[in-house]
Structure 1
Amino acid sequence: MTQPRAIDTLLARYADSHRNPTNELIHFVCIPLIVFTLLGILWVIAPAAALAACLAALVYYFRLSRPFALGMLLISAVMLGVLATMPPYTVLPLSIAIFVLAWIGQFIGHKIEGRKPSFFDDLRFLLIGPLFVLGFLYRRLHLAY
């Protein structure tokens, strides 16, 4: 009998507190916004800080799943590209405002779900959330991960 892959176990554990369709929808909107705005906040500190955060996350993602890591590489590149084209004075206030609103959305989703956020039990789930969203897209496109 083969052991399940770490990524499959992590996604299954994450999915346990994300079964309500409304909560899932909120997460599909809010998680990408949180990633983008977190990168925006780091970008204001120094673009190299945002790039370093992406690279650190990608190292973790490559250990879990190359297809997911490649997807996150593409998404990260697009997000960093958008940040590079934004007027510098807009990045921080916009990032902070959207970051706060997106987290409020996440907690509303979990209130609807009736379950606490997964990262309260394991901080790795802060990095698994984006893969949960990407996994939905991969399944829709019939891509293996």
Structure 2
Amino acid sequence: MRTLTEHLSQYAAYHRDTRNVATHIIGIPLIVLAIAALSSRPAWPVFSGAFSLTPAAILFALATLFYLRLDLPLGFGMAIVAGASAWFGHGIAAQSTMLWLAIGVGMFVTGWVFQFVGHLRFEHRKPAFVDDVIGLLIGPLFILVELLSALGLRRDLHVAIHAGTTVTR
């Protein structure tokens, strides 16, 4: 299994233009929230209805295990993101079917529009997941690292993943 730095470095190579990264800071959270919303139905009651199990809960639990295996502190950060996303998705899934679908699909499409605008207009390179599907999981982690770095945290990791990558604009 590749290391955290290897995964993020490979992803960073597809995201050298700061404008493309900016589109991802908007697009990726929209996609994650849309997936949370759309996969929060159906909900199966467990433990006599004390808890509902959804495809979103399973998906986010598996993703969180992957992140924790890469790096415990970032994995905990992604667990918070996963929990907040699942909570949001649960709220949207409780709405009428029409509203649930409109919000979920609308956010999903809007998020991908931001992604592709960033790659086609600014980066002029295909998205990372085209060459390695694991890029779909690394994208949210990359955004977390970018945001933490902007706050002065995990700067060493940020420098390491961008080493050898020329940042433009």
The normalised TM-score by structure 1 is 0.89
| 1:37 aligned partner, one-letter code | A
Distance in 2 of aligned mates of 1:143 and 1:60: 21
Identify the residue that residue 98 of structure 1 maps to in structure 2.
107
Identify the residue that residue 109 of structure 1 maps to in structure 2.
118
Identify the residue that residue 54 of structure 1 maps to in structure 2.
60
Per-residue CA deviations over 1:100-119 (Å, capped at 9, x if unaligned) read 12112211111021110000
Alignment equivalent of 2:70, drawn from 58, 64, 75: 64
Identify the residue that residue 14 of structure 2 maps to in structure 1.
17
Identify the residue that residue 133 of structure 1 maps to in structure 2.
143
Note the C-alpha offset of 1:50. 0.6
Note the C-alpha offset of 1:30. 0.5
| 2:81 aligned partner, one-letter code | I
Structure 2: which 5+ runs fail to align? 44-52, 158-169
Higher helix share: 1
Distance in 1 of aligned mates of 2:60 and 2:76: 12
Identify the residue that residue 48 of structure 2 maps to in structure 1.
none
Alignment equivalent of 1:88, drawn from 88, 95, 103: 95
| 1:108 aligned partner, one-letter code | V
| 1:66 aligned partner, one-letter code | L
Note the C-alpha offset of 1:83. 2.8
Alignment equivalent of 2:26, drawn from 18, 23, 29: 29
Note the C-alpha offset of 1:140. 2.5
| 2:78 aligned partner, one-letter code | M
Note the C-alpha offset of 1:48. 1.6
Structure 1 outlier segments of 4+, above 2 Å: 44-47, 82-87, 140-145
Distance in 2 of aligned mates of 1:60 and 1:142: 25
Task: Report the secondary structure of 2:41's partner residue.
Answer: helix
Does the aligned pair in 2 maintain the 1:83–1:91 contact within 8 Å? no
Does the aligned pair in 1 maintain the 2:64–2:82 contact within 8 Å? no
| 2:20 aligned partner, one-letter code | N
Note the C-alpha offset of 1:67. 1.2
Note the C-alpha offset of 1:69. 1.0
Note the C-alpha offset of 1:141. 3.0
Alignment equivalent of 1:122, drawn from 114, 132, 142: 132
Identity %: 34
Aligned residues: 141
Structure 1: which 5+ runs fail to align? none
